[in-house]
Amino acid sequence: MPQNITDVDAFTDPLTAPAGADAADSASILAMAQKIANRTKNIIERLGSAAGSGEFAYRNGAGAAVTKTRKLVLPAAEGTRAAGYGLGSNLEAIERGLERIPEGSVITQIRCKVNPGTAQAVAANRLVIRLYESDPIFGTAASVPTDTDVGNATDNGSTGVQIITISGLSVAVTKETKALTLYAQKRNAGALDTVYLWEITYTTTTLRGD
């Protein structure tokens, strides 16, 4: 009687078949069919399985999920052709584009290329970049979202093109419950501070962007 094959999530390699004087019996056919079934299962799981979970997940040759480090580079004041933008006294600029980072990712570092207009010896007067987390977004209608500063850094106190880095982050991207906002703020009355580019480093297990 025919028998069922229990597939396994593994990219079985190589595929083999009887050759020459090898017996083409049920055992050899079953062995070949098992490997093909395993590969089929492996492909289905990569595409999200029947439930759609794990869709487009990164996997190694054995089918196990793996984590990748990725970078998202955003132009300053995204949506314009300006080569950076200038910030006047006590003005701040909110950046868009973080929604491109896949759900479930973890932001680990943020870098921003800037050019402070005036050297500032006092740290509290320097150009600062911040990552804010707003929670909750919706839910209880009367609730007011709470903004939490989850990471910040300032320029080095001098003028000239430089990179501000917020390192050591571990900020989970959970789009249905929290909103992330990235912005730069000028905190002095000196010459314009210029912001050029943003780079967000994050880890993820999927290509999926929802």
Residue range 32-87, pLDDT digits in tens: 889 998 888 877 776 666 555 556 777 776 667 789 999 999 887 644 434 455 66
Q: Which of 14, 33, 66 is the last residue of a domain?
A: 66
Residues 97 and 157 in one domain: yes
Q: Which of 21, 40, 66 is the last residue of a domain?
A: 66
- Encode pLDDT of 95-116 as tens digits: 677 888 988 899 999 999 999 9
Share of the chain above pLDDT 90, in %: 32
Q: Which of 39, 66, 93 is the last residue of a domain?
A: 66
Residues 88 and 117 in one domain: yes
Please report, for residues 24, 86, 96, 180, the alpha-carbon distance to residue 93 in angstroms, rounded to integers and kept in the order given.
71, 9, 10, 14
For residue 80, the model assigns a pLDDT of: 41
Residues 107 and 168 in one domain: yes
- Encode pLDDT of 124-150 as tens digits: 999 999 998 888 767 666 677 788 999
| Averaged pLDDT score across all residues of the chain | 82
Give the domain extent around 35.
Answer: 1-66
Residues 45 and 72 in one domain: no
As for how many domains the chain has, the answer is: 2
Instruction: Extract the tokens encoding 67.
Output: 């984590």
